[in-house]
């Protein structure tokens, strides 16, 4: 597991108010098959993107794309959790994770399952050790 994986997992699970919204859990990469439609779930994924290089040090700052999907049966919870997530992530500067910026926010509804989704996309600037 990479250092970025450990750091982003720690950050995603560290905020108590975010955890209170995600009563179904916060997951990396995928949601378990037996998830409850009555609870709110956060699923995050990431991939490496462009970084900032210098002549002396390659990949001085690494870039990552972070995607967070919020699934809930309540539109109020979707809005509140999305706002809390954005507020929380965009102030992070823990030494390694230097900057997180919201890039996109897209909502959807699944009327058959009676659930709502919001997918938030962020750019992350990560300090290489």
DSSP string covering 58-111: TTSEEEEEEEEEEEES-HHHHHHHHHHHHHHHTT---SSEEEEEEEEEEEEEET
DSSP label at 19? Answer: H
pTM for the model stands at 0.90
Structural domains in the chain, CATH included, are 3-127 (3.30.2000.10)
Query: For residue 90, how many other CB atoms are within 10 A of its CB?
Result: 12
Q: Name the token pair of 44.
A: 């995050």
Give the per-residue pLDDT at 14. 93
Answer yes or no: is pLDDT of 61 > 70: yes
- pLDDT interval class at 2 (50, 70, 90): confident
Whether 81 shows a pLDDT value over 60: the answer reads yes
**What pLDDT score was predicted for residue 28?**
95
The average pLDDT across 29-34 equals: 90
- State how far the alpha carbon of 84 is from the alpha carbons of 32, 74, 81, 90, 111, in Å: 24, 15, 5, 10, 25
């Amino acid at each position: 597991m990479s250092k970025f994986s450990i750091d982003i997992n720690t950050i995603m699970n560290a905020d108590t108010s975010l955890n209170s919204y995600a009563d179904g859990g916060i997951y990396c990469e995928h949601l378990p098959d037996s998830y409850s439609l009555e609870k709110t779930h956060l699923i995050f994924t990431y991939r490496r993107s462009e970084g900032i290089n210098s002549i002396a040090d390659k990949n001085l700052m690494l870039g990552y794309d972070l995607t967070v999907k919020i699934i809930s049966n309540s539109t109020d919870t979707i809005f509140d959790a999305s706002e809390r997530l954005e507020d929380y992530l965009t102030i992070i500067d823990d030494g390694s994770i230097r900057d997180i910026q919201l890039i996109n926010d897209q909502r959807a509804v699944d009327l058959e399952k009676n659930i709502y989704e919001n997918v938030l996309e962020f750019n992350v600037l990560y300090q290489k050790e």
